[in-house]
Chain A
């Protein structure tokens, strides 16, 4: 399964979080963690905003929006199946 960054998913695609970029700023790390964006969790890409940024994801049963640049810090493994 290919390893991507979270901002590279297309609408409706799901992926599992496998790690973070070493450059992730500390305040963003805290945010990711308290919002439940932790390793092993499955994230579904829902939609992009006007101009393609920010991006809305579904995680742990709720919806969260991240900027493209923020989602780029999260490494994911794409899960096959639904398009």
Chain B
């Protein structure tokens, strides 16, 4: 069977992931692009005698590459040279979409257009003569409606015809003003001496547009530097002759070609239609109502995540309890039994219990993204977030962080500039996740009686405040980059497609399961061993390694008033925050709440709550930070700043609350 590689590219919001899912089904492989943390999605389809390997490229408006996403897409097309490129074009928004198409054609690649959203175009009264457009562009076009699976087989058979060389390409040549054409001719002539692989006309145009990535690429080739300086002098010449940057002149020439084409192939009927998106936006992005509605939606997401998942969570909890009892009654090696009951079931089990919450959170997130609301959130809050050195798009990771920091950290991917994205990730663990909530509730209810809810709530305020505060600090001191632009499309609202949403949830959720599960499980084994060894000691008793470890840490925590059991609980809480409660239960026994109440003063207890919120991210979050930043340096940085901050704040709050009470 012959294999062909097909890259799938298109503007954002053109139904690319829906079409990709239709093409490949659920058989997708998610990895990372080499050197960066942007997700790389691949899938396969067997069609006739061929195995078609589809590579999903990040959404991009052009090959100008101003963000990581766009650079990946551009580099893949230009340097990896897939056999065929499927360019998804939104039929209801033809002229902006065709800009990318013209650029793709200029690279000399074999492009097939999937003219998507034909139904939406029709409902808007846009009528496209597909054959005529295909002739004008010189590339094959297949009309598709991805949401209904229309046109998928035709698309595959055209892809194969193209791969077999059965379709002849007669691409249009965009004619640029004479001064520019002359420059292109000369530069591409020079380029043809040093490079054979890449279309030299396209490279010459890119040099005139002063594309940073391409300039650097050419400079890297022997003899390239001179060509770049020739190009640079042409840029100056064109600028003085035409009074405008060649970048703009070239882009305008392309749009000129597009609008001429549009006049010949598109006819518009006047359709009187209410723009539902605009109506929704009048409310959802309203100057006064926008924010309250955002918080209401957030609240419903939480209710959804926790209430809908609750029965499943309870079920899993019951299942583990039942398994614990069964195994407890077995007559097996006591060490093995202890490992299964105390380690796997109560340790690992207490984390697995949260999996349904995480899946539902991913589901809610996928729906909000698919509908198009996330870009409105960024629009509503950009101004406020920018005051703290963050980006409008930083709100989403923070919101998700209340549920679990892992999806929060992962969702920072959509932020363009590396500085903004890193800052968003680095402050995320300060947002109190749902695993810290039970710990906070336990401590607060022991010490603060009817003021317990207020005490817990104050921790959320503190977490948000700290995240914003740290963001300013990081942005002012360490990551002083340029502010990334906010030129962002606000796509029309769309009904979410079940398939896209489920695949989305599954891809992200299962990745979490694999990664976090692996780490948490290994950690469970270690903790259990510490509490159960050396052989013969009482589990978690004073002779165990856990206790020895606790006494080792205790002196550091003594100024805050915590004893060795709390030290061990905090240490184990690093694996997963909710484990804190379990460890106290193990080490102090049934009446651990009463013991804790006698052990600490209310002021010290409040300090402990602060400590629990701030000190080090859990292990799974750390693993995610490592994989998303790709750097140990940042991972360690988060641990260090959080630990230091936790000590200072716990100390300060203990003193402060002591003064008040």
Which residues of A are in contact with B by a Cβ distance under 8 Å?
A: 19-20, 25-36, 38-41, 46-54, 56, 60-67, 70
A35-B383 contact in complex given A26-B210, A64-B487, A66-B486, C-beta closer than 8 Å = no
| Bound: A29/B62 CA distance, A | 12
Q: Interface residues of B, CB < 8 Å — how many?
A: 49
| Bound: A47/B284 CA distance, A | 12
User: Is B488 located at the chain interface by the 8 A CB criterion?
Assistant: yes
* Closest partner residue, chain B, to A52 (CB atom): B383
* Closest partner residue, chain A, to B247 (CB atom): A29
* Closest partner residue, chain B, to A56 (CB atom): B490
| Bound: A53/B384 CA distance, A | 9
Taking the nearest CB of chain A, how far is it from the CB of B458, in angstroms?
26
* Closest partner residue, chain A, to B484 (CB atom): A27
Taking the nearest CB of chain B, how far is it from the CB of A40, in angstroms?
7
Interface contact tally, CB-CB below 8 A: 124
Q: A70: which B residues are within 8 A, CB to CB?
A: 485-487
| Bound: A25/B486 CA distance, A | 13
A35-B382 contact in complex given A28-B485, A60-B93, A63-B489, C-beta closer than 8 Å = no
A64-B490 contact in complex given A30-B66, A39-B248, A51-B384, C-beta closer than 8 Å = yes
* Closest partner residue, chain A, to B100 (CB atom): A34
* Closest partner residue, chain B, to A66 (CB atom): B487
* Closest partner residue, chain A, to B392 (CB atom): A54
User: Is B285 located at the chain interface by the 8 A CB criterion?
Assistant: yes
**Are the CB atoms of A33 and B383 closer together than 8 Å?**
no
**Are the CB atoms of B285 and A38 closer together than 8 Å?**
no
B263-289 vs A, Cβ < 8 Å mask (1 yes, 0 no): 000000000000001100110010110
| Bound: A40/B105 CA distance, A | 24
Taking the nearest CB of chain A, how far is it from the CB of B239, in angstroms?
10
User: Is B176 located at the chain interface by the 8 A CB criterion?
Assistant: no
User: Is B154 located at the chain interface by the 8 A CB criterion?
Assistant: no
Contact partner of A50 (CB less than 8 A), chosen from B95, B247, B383, is B383
User: Is B448 located at the chain interface by the 8 A CB criterion?
Assistant: no
User: Is B291 located at the chain interface by the 8 A CB criterion?
Assistant: yes
* Closest partner residue, chain B, to A71 (CB atom): B487
**Are the CB atoms of A65 and B490 closer together than 8 Å?**
yes
Taking the nearest CB of chain A, how far is it from the CB of B5, in angstroms?
25
| Bound: A60/B93 CA distance, A | 8
**Are the CB atoms of B66 and A31 closer together than 8 Å?**
yes
Q: B65: which A residues are within 8 A, CB to CB?
A: 30
**Are the CB atoms of B252 and A34 closer together than 8 Å?**
no
Taking the nearest CB of chain A, how far is it from the CB of B341, in angstroms?
54
Q: B491: which A residues are within 8 A, CB to CB?
A: 62-63
Most B C-beta atoms less than 10 A away, residue of A30, A38, A52? A30
| Bound: A31/B287 CA distance, A | 27
**Are the CB atoms of B62 and A54 closer together than 8 Å?**
no
User: Is B339 located at the chain interface by the 8 A CB criterion?
Assistant: no
Q: In chain B between 440 and 499, which residues have their CB closer than 8 angstroms to a CB of chain A?
A: 482, 485-492
Most B C-beta atoms less than 10 A away, residue of A62, A66, A67? A62
A54-B383, A65-B486 known; 10 other A-B pairs, CB under 8 Å? A27-B485, A28-B485, A34-B100, A35-B61, A38-B255, A49-B379, A49-B380, A50-B287, A60-B93, A63-B491
